[in-house]
A and B are shown apart, each in its own frame.
Chain A
Amino acid sequence: MSTRLITDSSEWSFPLLERFDRELGRLAHEVYGLDTYANQIEVISSEQMIDAYSSVGLPIYYHHWSFGKQFVATEQTYRRGQMGLAYEIVINSDPCIAYLMEENSLPMQALVIAHACYGHNSFFKGNYLFRTWTSADAIIDYLVFARKYIAQCEERYGHDEVELLLDSCHALMNHGVDRYKRPSPLSMAEEQRRQRERADYIQSQINDLWRTLPPAAEHDASRSEARWPDEPQENILYFIEKNAPLLEPWQREIVRIVRRIGQYFYPQRQTQVMNEGWATYWHYTLMNHLYDDGLVSDGFMIEFLQSHTSVVFQPPFDAPYYSGINPYALGFAMMRDIRRICESPTDEDRYWFPDIAGGDWIKVLDFAMRNFKDESFIAQFLSPNLMREFRLFAITDDDLEEHLEVKAIHEESGYRALRQALAEQYNLGTREPNIQVYNVDRRGDRSLTLRHFAHQRRPLGDSVPEMLRHIRRLWGFTVRLGTVDDQGRVELIGEV
């Protein structure tokens, strides 16, 4: 059997990397049916990794001081040894670019190739959010364009001007994403056809009798003071790009660049658990398969397992280094649990998951990967078994009450509430404040009114005045922010 070993060494070399990549690729594609983009694997040094960190992992990015700050901070903590660097960074592009650090040992490089180049890569290619919101084949070109465009603007309009604009746009980056596809604009012919249809319909419904009714009192005279936009808008950056009265065309273009890059990252923020869980599950499965085939040695496997277990470790809530639920741990456990439910379901599983219990695990996992995001994935697939394993419990913290209340724990009567609460925790809509463009005083002082919808009485943090100044810089006129509480009462909390 030892004759089949790929190598004994733990030092990597390019031929060895290529060999591992070939083996892993063969398993991933032929045995497990993963569908991936082509891989571009780049070996970089730790300094370059710090560079990559500071530009959010993107291989090319425009210049901004905040990336410098990030760089300085990362460099500091790394140099003092307070923090290790990530083993890899992978970019959702076609071909999929993955960075390997040269310091990694061979088992680590193999792990990273399995994790990034087959795990993340297939997730990027398959998941519906990434398919809807990002175009992997165009992102690099777009980043090149963005960098050039912003550099030109800096030359023409001055660094300071561009920097101020970017500061404001970055502040609103999270409020510059579309959550739903915007309908494509109708053609003129289509518009006219629909208009005709509506007119015909109204015509067909006319009954002269109605005209004999006395006119109703003008009860909505005050409301007919038409608001604009008609519907509240949650994509604040988009609204500003299209409607801010004073922006120059180049400024609108920069707003658009920031917005589009924000949109590119939007799926990643919603699929942490799934994406990391998926990648971790596949590096675990692929490496074990290599081991079962006798291609790697025991020592190799021990080193791999050592890093793997530290990645998926979940400290309990009362541990001093607890910082929330580890997405790698939760995601990995859920993926494994789905496989377990398919392969050897218990009665409980059959009751909870009648659709998948006893099914083909590869198909079920693939379906889950393609069609869910964290929130819905947890709501759909978190099993009672796993809740017991993690010993999950839900707590309600109401600032009007003196005590925290344990709402549900891992027991029969609590599973549904617990699962609901955990899914909600991954809902970006609840994690981030819900702020919408409510009205623009188009005929008066052109002031912009924003509304914050306070969910469960949760107020906004102390960044409000500064944020309003940023929005005002973009809008150019007075900006107001009101909070709407659960009863619908509006309270003005800031005006700049």
Chain B
Amino acid sequence: MSHFIDRRLNGKNKSAVNRQRFLKRYKTQLKRAVADAVDKRSITDMDSGEKVGIPSRDISEPVFHHGKGGVRDMVHPGNKQFESGDRIRRPEGGQGGGSGQGRASRDGQGEDEFVFELSREEFMDLLFEDLELPNLVRNQLIGTTEFKTVRAGYSTQGAPTNIDVVRSLKGAVARRTALGAPSRARIRELEEEVERLLAGGIPETDPHIGERRAEIDRLKTRIAALPFIDTFDLRYQSFVKLPEPTSKAVMLCIMDVSGSMDQERKNLAKRFFILLYLFLKRNYDRIEVIFIRHHTIAQEVDEEDFFYSRETGGTVVSSALNLAYDVVKERYDPSVWNIYTAQASDGDNWDSDSSLCRDLLIEKLMPLMRYYAYVEITPRQHQSLWYAYEEVMAAHPHFAMQEIDGAEDIYPVFRELFKRQSA
């Protein structure tokens, strides 16, 4: 009569599609929430999910319902002291005002938020949607080409480990069938003759019959002697290596850690790089990141030092550019690597150094670059470096610069710099 089914092993994400649709529908609101979240969060936990809220009224599913007013009769349990005809002061708030369950929240004006959690993936997707690294070119490597191994059918030669057993045995069966066929035909013929002779009244001992029986036995031995498997039968799975174009990219992060960069500005710069770093890690598998920090001299450091160590001094931007140039020349052949640079600075620089930077960029660095993004973190007037860089921008269209005033600017500027370029 009853039938039990264990469904526990069935998929549990039956509602995944619905969840995706819900997110899609409220994308704009979610994006805003995500952008706010980026501002508020500390750098270290940028890489996790986020709790976001949407105003309830925006996601309501309206139905016709009664509003306040009019005459209502209600029955309640638990009477203690009321008598028929009693008059009671109207209670404050919702108690007694609702027409039953479920209406109270709708009558409220929806100030509360519908809060829920985004997974890390969903968060990142929203954060970096529509962004891409500009001018990514698939550089075909010639020297150290990368290969991908792909199947290429079967071959008659190969290493024993690659023997395809099924194929080989199929071949063997076919061969045995083919080679045994004439003998089997002859056997059938001889057997029919023996039948015929016996039916004609010839005794079993007759030499004609004995002769034929002997031949049948000989042929059977011959068939049995066919080798079960032969080197001829062996088939090997064949693999070939195809060269693959790579989309390797290297990202140079250059940051000013001089005395004029106070802690707040450094934090802003850090956030910019953090965003950049997460963005790269998400979009491209094969990407290397070089961190260069500088004051009067530039140093290549690891990620930890780049973001978290403290150092101060004056500012000579060209030192970092020179180091960047050396690093690229030494390690990243521009015919092999896509090279991107992001630089953050407060714009302070030795006056005479700015023109040096400009020349360095225009003549040496920019021809190697796919894209160069410069962010200036300053609430003040631009200084010489900005104007020098404006000249660079005029000379090279793949040079971009933006200004960041406060934390709230970082995300919009980041989007602006890396927004997906229409074809």
Residues of B contacting A407 in the complex (Cβ-Cβ under 8 angstroms): 73, 84
Residues of A contacting B75 in the complex (Cβ-Cβ under 8 angstroms): 325, 392-395, 418, 421-422, 425
User: Roughly how many angstroms separate A310 CA and B107 CA in the complex, as a whole number?
Assistant: 29
Asked if residues B2 and A409 are in contact (CB atoms below 8 Å), the reply is: no
Within 8 A of A (CB), among B20-74: 20-25, 59-74
Asked if residues A393 and B72 are in contact (CB atoms below 8 Å), the reply is: no
Is A95 part of the binding interface, using a Cβ–Cβ cutoff of 8 Å?
Answer: yes
Nearest-Cβ distance from residue A130 to partner chain B, whole angstroms: 20
Nearest-Cβ distance from residue B29 to partner chain A, whole angstroms: 13
Asked if residues B73 and A17 are in contact (CB atoms below 8 Å), the reply is: no
Asked if residues B19 and A71 are in contact (CB atoms below 8 Å), the reply is: yes
- CB nearest neighbor in A for B77: A390
- CB nearest neighbor in B for A151: B17
Asked if residues A69 and B70 are in contact (CB atoms below 8 Å), the reply is: no
Is A131 part of the binding interface, using a Cβ–Cβ cutoff of 8 Å?
Answer: no
Within 8 A of A (CB), among B237-295: none
Asked if residues B64 and A433 are in contact (CB atoms below 8 Å), the reply is: yes
Nearest-Cβ distance from residue B273 to partner chain A, whole angstroms: 33
Is B310 part of the binding interface, using a Cβ–Cβ cutoff of 8 Å?
Answer: no
Asked if residues B19 and A68 are in contact (CB atoms below 8 Å), the reply is: yes
Is A221 part of the binding interface, using a Cβ–Cβ cutoff of 8 Å?
Answer: no
If A25-B2, A76-B115, A408-B84 touch, does A461 touch B12 (CB 8 Å cutoff)? no
Residues of A contacting B421 in the complex (Cβ-Cβ under 8 angstroms): none
Chain A positions 396 through 431: 1 when the CB is less than 8 Å from some CB of chain B, otherwise 0: 111100111111111101100010011011000001
Asked if residues B71 and A391 are in contact (CB atoms below 8 Å), the reply is: no
Asked if residues B67 and A460 are in contact (CB atoms below 8 Å), the reply is: yes
Partner of B70 from A71, A117, A459, A463 at Cβ < 8 Å: A459
Is A201 part of the binding interface, using a Cβ–Cβ cutoff of 8 Å?
Answer: no
Partner of A72 from B19, B66, B79, B107 at Cβ < 8 Å: B19
If A25-B2, A396-B71 touch, does A458 touch B114 (CB 8 Å cutoff)? no
User: Roughly how many angstroms separate A38 CA and B4 CA in the complex, as a whole number?
Assistant: 11
- CB nearest neighbor in A for B23: A68
Residues of B contacting A175 in the complex (Cβ-Cβ under 8 angstroms): 64
Nearest-Cβ distance from residue B183 to partner chain A, whole angstroms: 60
Is A94 part of the binding interface, using a Cβ–Cβ cutoff of 8 Å?
Answer: no
Asked if residues A38 and B73 are in contact (CB atoms below 8 Å), the reply is: no
User: Roughly how many angstroms separate A324 CA and B95 CA in the complex, as a whole number?
Assistant: 10
Within 8 A of B (CB), among A21-50: 21-22, 25, 38-45, 47-48, 50
If A404-B96, A433-B66, A458-B69 touch, does A54 touch B15 (CB 8 Å cutoff)? yes
- CB nearest neighbor in A for B72: A397
Asked if residues B18 and A65 are in contact (CB atoms below 8 Å), the reply is: yes
Asked if residues B74 and A397 are in contact (CB atoms below 8 Å), the reply is: yes
Chain A positions 79 through 109: 1 when the CB is less than 8 Å from some CB of chain B, otherwise 0: 0000000000000000100010010000000
Contact stretch, chosen from B86-94, B129-137, B381-389 = B86-94
User: Roughly how many angstroms separate A167 CA and B61 CA in the complex, as a whole number?
Assistant: 8
Is B227 part of the binding interface, using a Cβ–Cβ cutoff of 8 Å?
Answer: no
Nearest-Cβ distance from residue A389 to partner chain B, whole angstroms: 9
Is B148 part of the binding interface, using a Cβ–Cβ cutoff of 8 Å?
Answer: no
Asked if residues A399 and B70 are in contact (CB atoms below 8 Å), the reply is: yes
Chain A positions 52 through 89: 1 when the CB is less than 8 Å from some CB of chain B, otherwise 0: 00110000000111111101110110000000000000
Nearest-Cβ distance from residue B22 to partner chain A, whole angstroms: 3
Is A218 part of the binding interface, using a Cβ–Cβ cutoff of 8 Å?
Answer: no
Residues of B contacting A467 in the complex (Cβ-Cβ under 8 angstroms): 62-64
Overall SS of chain A's interface: mixed
Is A435 part of the binding interface, using a Cβ–Cβ cutoff of 8 Å?
Answer: yes
Asked if residues B83 and A409 are in contact (CB atoms below 8 Å), the reply is: yes
Asked if residues B21 and A42 are in contact (CB atoms below 8 Å), the reply is: no
Asked if residues A403 and B89 are in contact (CB atoms below 8 Å), the reply is: yes
Residues of B contacting A433 in the complex (Cβ-Cβ under 8 angstroms): 64-66
User: Roughly how many angstroms separate A14 CA and B2 CA in the complex, as a whole number?
Assistant: 12
If A54-B15, A95-B3, A404-B88 touch, does A460 touch B74 (CB 8 Å cutoff)? no
Asked if residues B65 and A460 are in contact (CB atoms below 8 Å), the reply is: yes
Asked if residues B21 and A403 are in contact (CB atoms below 8 Å), the reply is: no
Nearest-Cβ distance from residue A32 to partner chain B, whole angstroms: 15
Is A292 part of the binding interface, using a Cβ–Cβ cutoff of 8 Å?
Answer: no
Contact stretch, chosen from B98-106, B152-160, B197-205, B322-330 = B98-106
If A163-B21, A409-B84 touch, does A48 touch B10 (CB 8 Å cutoff)? yes
Asked if residues B90 and A43 are in contact (CB atoms below 8 Å), the reply is: no
Residues of B contacting A25 in the complex (Cβ-Cβ under 8 angstroms): 1-2
User: Roughly how many angstroms separate A391 CA and B79 CA in the complex, as a whole number?
Assistant: 5
Is B6 part of the binding interface, using a Cβ–Cβ cutoff of 8 Å?
Answer: yes
Nearest-Cβ distance from residue B13 to partner chain A, whole angstroms: 8
Is B331 part of the binding interface, using a Cβ–Cβ cutoff of 8 Å?
Answer: no
User: Roughly how many angstroms separate A175 CA and B65 CA in the complex, as a whole number?
Assistant: 11
Asked if residues B73 and A425 are in contact (CB atoms below 8 Å), the reply is: yes
Is A205 part of the binding interface, using a Cβ–Cβ cutoff of 8 Å?
Answer: no
Is B207 part of the binding interface, using a Cβ–Cβ cutoff of 8 Å?
Answer: no
- CB nearest neighbor in B for A49: B12
Residues of A contacting B101 in the complex (Cβ-Cβ under 8 angstroms): 323-324
Which of B64, B90, B107 has the most A CB atoms < 10 Å from its CB?
B64
Is B188 part of the binding interface, using a Cβ–Cβ cutoff of 8 Å?
Answer: no
Residues of B contacting A95 in the complex (Cβ-Cβ under 8 angstroms): 3
Residues of A contacting B64 in the complex (Cβ-Cβ under 8 angstroms): 174-175, 432-433, 435, 452, 460-461, 463-464, 467
If A65-B25, A316-B78, A458-B66 touch, does A397 touch B100 (CB 8 Å cutoff)? no
Asked if residues B88 and A458 are in contact (CB atoms below 8 Å), the reply is: no
- CB nearest neighbor in B for A481: B64
Asked if residues B69 and A459 are in contact (CB atoms below 8 Å), the reply is: yes
Residues of A contacting B423 in the complex (Cβ-Cβ under 8 angstroms): none
User: Roughly how many angstroms separate A337 CA and B24 CA in the complex, as a whole number?
Assistant: 52
User: Roughly how many angstroms separate A84 CA and B224 CA in the complex, as a whole number?
Assistant: 74
- CB nearest neighbor in B for A403: B87
Is A165 part of the binding interface, using a Cβ–Cβ cutoff of 8 Å?
Answer: no
Is B225 part of the binding interface, using a Cβ–Cβ cutoff of 8 Å?
Answer: no
Is A317 part of the binding interface, using a Cβ–Cβ cutoff of 8 Å?
Answer: yes
User: Roughly how many angstroms separate A167 CA and B64 CA in the complex, as a whole number?
Assistant: 14
Within 8 A of B (CB), among A297-328: 314-319, 322-325
If A66-B61, A68-B19, A393-B79 touch, does A403 touch B88 (CB 8 Å cutoff)? yes
User: Roughly how many angstroms separate A86 CA and B75 CA in the complex, as a whole number?
Assistant: 27
User: Roughly how many angstroms separate A467 CA and B63 CA in the complex, as a whole number?
Assistant: 7
Partner of B22 from A65, A399, A456 at Cβ < 8 Å: A65
Which of B1, B60, B88 has the most A CB atoms < 10 Å from its CB?
B1
Residues of A contacting B380 in the complex (Cβ-Cβ under 8 angstroms): none
If A325-B75, A392-B77, A422-B75 touch, does A14 touch B83 (CB 8 Å cutoff)? no
User: Roughly how many angstroms separate A316 CA and B75 CA in the complex, as a whole number?
Assistant: 11
Residues of B contacting A315 in the complex (Cβ-Cβ under 8 angstroms): 78
19 contacts between A and B (CB under 8 A): A14-B6, A17-B4, A25-B2, A38-B3, A48-B12, A66-B22, A117-B2, A170-B61, A173-B63, A314-B78, A393-B82, A394-B75, A395-B96, A396-B71, A398-B72, A406-B83, A413-B84, A421-B75, A458-B72
Task: With A95-B3, A390-B77, A406-B88 given, name 15 new contacts (CB 8 A).
Answer: A14-B4, A25-B2, A39-B3, A65-B18, A65-B25, A170-B61, A317-B76, A322-B78, A403-B87, A405-B86, A406-B84, A431-B100, A432-B65, A458-B67, A462-B67
Query: What residues of chain B have their CB less than 8 Å away from a CB belonging to chain A?
Result: 1-8, 10, 12-15, 17-25, 59-80, 82-90, 96-97, 99-101, 106-107, 114-117
Closest 7 CB pairs of A and B: A316-B78, A68-B22, A458-B70, A68-B18, A317-B76, A457-B70, A403-B87
Query: What residues of chain A have their CB less than 8 Å away from a CB belonging to chain B?
Result: 14, 17-18, 21-22, 25, 38-45, 47-48, 50-51, 54-55, 63-69, 71-73, 75-76, 95, 99, 102, 117, 159, 163, 167, 170-171, 173-175, 314-319, 322-325, 390-399, 402-411, 413-414, 418, 421-422, 424-425, 431-433, 435, 452, 454-464, 466-467, 470
